Chains A and B, each alone.
Chain A
Amino acid sequence: MKVYLDNGATTKLDDSVTKAILPYFNEKYGNASSLHSKGQEAKMALEESREIIAKKLKARPDEIIFTSGGTESDNLALKGVAQLHDSGHIITTKIEHPAITNTCKELEKQFEVTYLDVDKEGFISLHQLKNSIKPNTILISIMHANNEIGTIQPLKEIGEIAKEHKILFHSDAVQSFTKEDINTKKINIDLISISAHKIHGPKGIGALYVKNKTKLKKQILGGKHEYNLRAGTENVSSAVGFAKAVQVSNKKDIKHMKKLRDYFITNILKIKHTKLNGPKERLCNNINLSFAYIEGESIGALLDAKGICSSTGSACSSKELKASAVLEAIHLPPEYINGSLRLTMSKFTTKEELDYTLEELKKIVEKLRKLSPLGK
């Protein structure tokens, strides 16, 4: 059996998305900036797509800036705000995606950055956030749902704090977009990063929600595309695919994933010395476990041999031989930190696939524990 449980990394295209995209390669291939009919045909598709995505966030179409993906959106948000200032202070967290963390590290050359702690379940403290604000704080960037452990931060409350202090608020919502409601009419938020390939859309396209009148320093220079915030010929086919993916997302799929997630967690925790990382109430498709005394990459390799795709936060598996910063930030005990396994489902995941995974995983954990000198 082939089981894909790495949907936090990327997802399979929905068939309706593939179908929607195809005409834009060899029929409706015009440049959306061209004034002739072929160009206008593409332009219309682009603007319809923008409208669909805007609607999902209860935003205006002109508040959606297409980018090449979540990483570019994060870069545009952070550098775009910072570079309008000569100096200042930025607040973010210790559990952000590298697109945020590494951009912040770069910005540290000129700006002061505070990285907020998180508790054992991965939540920031609103109290610490308030206390971290300085007179020169220019931006708060806090992710919505965490990509590793599925913790969902309280955007509404954070937004209120930001508003009270007149500080811009950005959130990386790449993992949560369409899975959790984000209503820009109800929460105070200025910038939101989203991406298509996490929601059964194509790779290479994302967007940044930029609240009306929010000023940003343009990062990619060229023509006046995307309300003069992001130059480059518009990726119309991908924008159409992105919009289609948003359009087909629905509450039923989320319910389906939640049910499967809880079923799997309940059963896998029957294995001794197994821990769920992150809170019980979490992103609908995220499962993150730690198996004491064994190593995550080995678990993943044995799962892969059985046709099951997963991911791990173990040190061995990373290019820097460093354990996941997120798992370190939640102070996971050492015997658990290298034995982490992330399983992320999609709407296509079935109970049969999870039963097969449960069965194989039990055998794998037992096997690796037999090989291990620890825990005896």
Chain B
Amino acid sequence: MYTKKVMKHFQKPKNYGEMKDADAIGTAGNERCGDILKIYLKIKNNKIQKISFETFGCPAAISASDVLCELCKGKTLKQALNITAKDISEYLGDLPKLKQHCSVLGKEALKKAIEDYKKN
């Protein structure tokens, strides 16, 4: 059902875990299937220095979260906001149609985290 790449990021995600000293946190929930994603950011000079996630969800949601973190590393906030659900899906080598919505979730959480950072 899933590509090898999805399974790799799902089984061995690199970027998971709570970040105690995060500068910004963003949470997004997908009501369609109940996934919940939390993004933690450490920001320096407008750049994402560290990023991690916590996800409640299916393999697609977890792997998409991990990939989003991977793609965000070292990016400026503006560059990070430009990452699309399609970028994540393509990086994973295509998600099943039914699971495409899982890759949208990460972007929402990231956007919220950056908005949260800008407010403070």
Contacts and interface: CB of A to CB of B under 8 A. Distances in A.
A301 interface: yes
A197 B53 CA distance: 43
Nearest to A323: B34
A372 B56 contact: yes
Contacts of B7: 301, 305
Given A298-B10, A298-B59, A374 B36 contact: yes
For the residues of A in contact with B, the DSSP-based class is: loop
Interface stretch (B12-20, B70-78, B80-88): B12-20
Contacts of B89: none
B88 to A, nearest CB: 17
Contacts of A374: 36, 56
A308 to B, nearest CB: 14
Interface residues of A, number: 23
A376 B33 contact: no
A36 to B, nearest CB: 49
A305 B7 CA distance: 9
Interface string A334-375: 000110000000000000000000000000000000111110
A317 interface: yes
For the residues of B in contact with A, the DSSP-based class is: mixed
A316 interface: yes
A294 to B, nearest CB: 7
B114 interface: no
Interface centre among B16, B34, B56, B60 (most CB of A within 10 A): B56
B35 A316 contact: yes
Contacts of B103: none
A371 B59 contact: no
Contacts of B13: 371
A264 B63 CA distance: 31
Given A315-B33, A321-B32, A321-B33, A373 B56 contact: yes
8 contacts: A315-B32, A315-B34, A316-B57, A319-B98, A321-B33, A370-B17, A374-B36, A376-B18
Interface of A: 293-295, 297-298, 301-302, 305, 314-317, 319, 321, 323, 337-338, 370-374, 376
Q: What 5 A-B pairs come out closest when comparing CB atoms?
A: A373-B54, A316-B58, A373-B38, A297-B58, A315-B33
